[in-house]
Amino acid sequence: MINSEVNKKSLKDNYLEASKDIKFRRLVKTIKATDDEAMKYTSSLEETVKELNNCSTCDGLVYCKNRLEGYVFYPEKDKYQIKFSYAPCKYQKEMLKKQQERDTREKDIINASFSDIDITDKKRVKVIKWLKNFYDKYDKNEEFKGLYLHGNFGCGKTYLISALFNELSKKRISTEIVYFPELLRDIKSDFDTFGDRIEYLENVDLLLIDDIGAEKVTEWSRDEILGTILQKRMNNYKTTFFTSNLNMEELERHLRINSYSDDEIKARRIIERVKQLTEDMELISENKRK
């Protein structure tokens, strides 16, 4: 009986000490717990407060200080007790959402075909005609310009070019689609395959560099990766396609890291390669990802 009283007093003392923190009190109020209910979980609630404090100054998943990266140890009160689980933070939610979008996007790309293209949208007619003409005339032994297709988010740019690639792959033409920001991350994480990966992208018959302009620009990504691939494809007369939310002028500004003249020249050099490799076309249409 004495030990029970001692333990109860210790729990209360710990709880009163923790309650001096306004964030601790706010958490208890948020989950609608009484003092008696919350008192049994003081240390766990303090851990939640600590992790929420970490989140308040966090700039991204790579900087996460919590026990489980991207998650917060968070309480929920039911009728009988307080239960703790791991809830995703805003950065983790964003990453999970993007992963889900990528999975859906990849499935759409794999199954894209001319027969499934929506031809009722008049805004897409010009692009569809261009792709059909390319399909009819393309010969991998001759030099053909690709397409720099830019426009609003979700209007089907990638799907349209993927449909073309899928149709041409039936003729034993090698094709590759790379989501540019992801390509850069993959190369950074696996330098052992760097040379082989770049060589393949330099020589595949048809290459789509998808969502250029969405990446974080560095001299390495611009000059060593993008610039090298484009130059080799020009030299090898390989057809290259691009999709982007940016037009050419906006892409050039995006590729400038600073305002120095030599940096502007390097950005301009990339744009000139893109122009030599492609025809420029805009697609502004309904967001089909809504």
- Structural class in CATH, domain 112-283: alpha beta
User: What pLDDT score does 290 carry?
Assistant: 54
User: What pLDDT score does 123 carry?
Assistant: 87
The pLDDT tens digits of the residues spanning 145-161 come to 999 999 988 778 999 99
Which position has the token pair 């992208």?
201
The pLDDT tens digits of the residues spanning 279-288 come to 999 998 776 6
The pLDDT tens digits of the residues spanning 73-119 come to 999 998 878 999 999 999 999 888 877 776 677 777 788 888 888 88
Q: Is the pLDDT of residue 121 over 90?
A: no
Nearest to 198 by CA among 141, 236, 161, 160: 236
Q: Coil, helix or strand for 112? A: coil
User: What pLDDT score does 17 carry?
Assistant: 94
Q: Is the pLDDT of residue 204 over 50?
A: yes
User: What pLDDT score does 4 carry?
Assistant: 61
The pLDDT tens digits of the residues spanning 234-255 come to 999 999 999 999 999 999 999 9
Rg of the chain on CA atoms, in Å: 27
- The chain-wide mean pLDDT, for the chain, equals 89
Mean pLDDT, residues 40-54:
95
User: Are 147 and 242 within 8 A, CB to CB?
Assistant: yes
Work out the end-to-end distance of the chain between its first and last CA atoms, rounded to an integer number of angstroms: 63
CA–CA separation, 290 vs 288, rounded Å?
6
The pLDDT tens digits of the residues spanning 177-203 come to 998 888 888 887 776 777 888 999 999
**Which tokens hold the place of 8?**
């109860």
**What global pTM score does this model have?**
0.66
User: What pLDDT score does 288 carry?
Assistant: 63
User: What pLDDT score does 232 carry?
Assistant: 95
CA–CA separation, 38 vs 75, rounded Å?
10
Of how many residues is the chain composed?
290
User: What pLDDT score does 196 carry?
Assistant: 85
CA–CA separation, 267 vs 273, rounded Å?
10
Ranges 32-46, 105-119, 139-153, 257-271: which has the least confidence: 105-119
CA–CA separation, 202 vs 78, rounded Å?
59
Mean pLDDT, residues 122-132:
92
User: What pLDDT score does 5 carry?
Assistant: 63
Give me the helix-helix angle, 42-56 and 22-30, nearest 10°.
Answer: 110
Cα distances from 209 to residues 131, 166, 240, 285, in angstroms, run: 16, 15, 8, 21
- List, in sequence order, the alpha helices (H) in the chain: 2-18, 22-30, 35-39, 42-56, 90-111, 125-137, 157-169, 180-189, 194-203, 219, 227-235, 248-255, 261-277
Cα distances from 259 to residues 75, 220, 267, 271, in angstroms, run: 50, 17, 11, 16
User: What pLDDT score does 2 carry?
Assistant: 47
Each domain of the chain, given as residue ranges in start order, spans 2-92, 112-283
